[in-house]
Amino acid sequence: MKTFDHAEYLGDAVYASFDGYHIWLTTGDGNDQRIALEPSVFRALVEYEARLRCMLTAQRTDAAPRFCAMEDCDQEPNIGSPHCAAHEAELLNSQVQP
């Protein structure tokens, strides 16, 4: 399989693809920058994200919202957002559509 045959857009001009061993991150901003993540490095990145979430959750103050800002929603909000993942996606979709 070619590395870029099945690239998936992640956001911020970043694409991910898989060649059977590496997860490739590439930029679509004209600079053609590439990073190949072997399994152990990808695992380390996922573990870093988990540690970061724990650290940021621990730093929340009591004043920080514990529940989504949408009425009758008992889900925890995303970090840096007053809304849970489902409502945040719903709000983003409603802004994109005419």
| Coil/strand/helix, residue 9 | strand
Output the pLDDT for position 36.
96
Query: For the whole model, what pTM was predicted?
Result: 0.54
| Distance (Å, whole) CA 57 – CA 79 | 8
Q: Does the pLDDT at position 59 exceed 90?
A: no
What is the helix (H) or strand (E) element at residue 35, kind and residue range? strand 34-37
Residue range 81-91, pLDDT digits in tens: 777 777 777 77
Closest C-alpha among 86, 53, 54, 56 to residue 69: 86
